[in-house]
Chains A and B, each alone.
Chain A
Amino acid sequence: MDRVKAEIEKLFRAKEQRRVRLAALPYPEKVQAVVQMQRMTAPLLLGRGLPVRIWELEPSGWKKEAT
C-alpha cells in the first residue's frame, strides 16, 4: 500500500512540475498550446452545439514541426 501511495505522490509531483514548466514558457508558445487545446476540445463542444472557432494563426506564430 505504501508503495502505491509513493507512486501516486510521484505522479502528482511530476504533474505539478509540468504545470510549473508550462507556466514558464514564452507567451507565443503558450498561445500555441491554447490553440492545440482548442483543437482537442472543439469537436466535443461543437457536438454539444456550442459555436466555437479554432484560432487561425499566421505562419510566423507556428512552431517548426519536429522532423
Chain B
Amino acid sequence: MIKFFKSLPYHTKTALKSIARHLALTFSSASAVSVTLTLLMVFLVLAGNVSSFTYSIEDSLQIYATIEDTVSEEEISVLQSEIEAMDHVVNVTFSDKEQELENYIGNNEDEASQRLFEAYSGEGNPLKNAFIIEVDSGNNLEEVSAALQEREEILEAAYGGDSVIMLVRAMDGIRIAGGIFVIALSVLAIFLISNTIKSAIYSRNNEISIMRNVGATNGFIKMPFMIEGMVIGMIGAIVPILITLFGYSYLYNALNGVLLISMFKMQPVIPFAIYVSVALLATGMIVGMLGSFFAVNKYLRWKR
C-alpha cells in the first residue's frame, strides 16, 4: 500500500506525459466523452426539474378539516398540538371563521357578491373554524384524513378525494419513469464512454505487450492508463459542466425560475447546477478510470 502511494506521482507524471504526447487521441476521446455527458446532463436537468414540479404539486395538496362549533378555543389549541403530533403531519394552521369568510369573499371577483357575503360576518357566520393540515407525502393524505375524521371534534376532513389520489399516483409515476430514464441513459453513457476509452487504448495494445516484455507488472502497466482514463473523463466533463452552470442559470433567469405557470417551479441554480456538475465530473472520471482498467486488463490477457 505504501508502495502504491509512493508510485502515484510517477504514474501520474507518466499518464500526463502520455496524454500530452497522444494529444490528438486525447482530444478525440475527450470530445466523445463530452458529447455523451452533455446528453446525460440534459436529461439530468429535465428529470431533476420534473421531479421538483411533481413535489411542488404534491406539497400544495392539503387536508381541510372543519371543526365542530361546540369546541372551545382552549380545546382547539390542544387539538392543534395533538394533530401536529400525528404521524405524517408536517404543519397545522388554524384558520377561524372570520378568516375563512374573508378568504371566501376574496375568491369572488365582483363587488356585488363580495358585499353580499360581507353581511355574514360576525355572529351569523355560517362557516366553521378550520385546520389546514400539510402532510409529508401525497400518499399519506388518505390515511391522515381518515384518522382526523374519526375524531369527535372534527366535523369533516377533506382532501379532494379520489382525483387527488390519482394525481399523486400520476406524480409518483412520472418520477419513477424519469428515474428509470436517467438510469438507462447513465448506463448508455457509461457504455459509450468506456468504449471510447477502450478504442483509444486499443491503438496502444502493442505498448502493453512491450511493457510486459520489459518486466513491468500488470499493476504497473495499468496505473498510468487508469489515470489517463480519469483525466480524459475529466477533460470531457469540462464543456458539459460549463454548459450546465451558465446555460442553466441563463435559462433560470430568462424564465424567472418557473416553467409556464408558477406551479412549475424550476430547481434553483444553486445548488442544483452544482449537483449536476459534480455528477457529470464524477461520471466522467470514474467511468474513464474503470473503462481503461477493463480495457488494459483485456489486452494484458492477450499475451503471456
Q: Do A and B come from one complex?
A: no
Chain A residues with CB under 8 Å of chain B are none
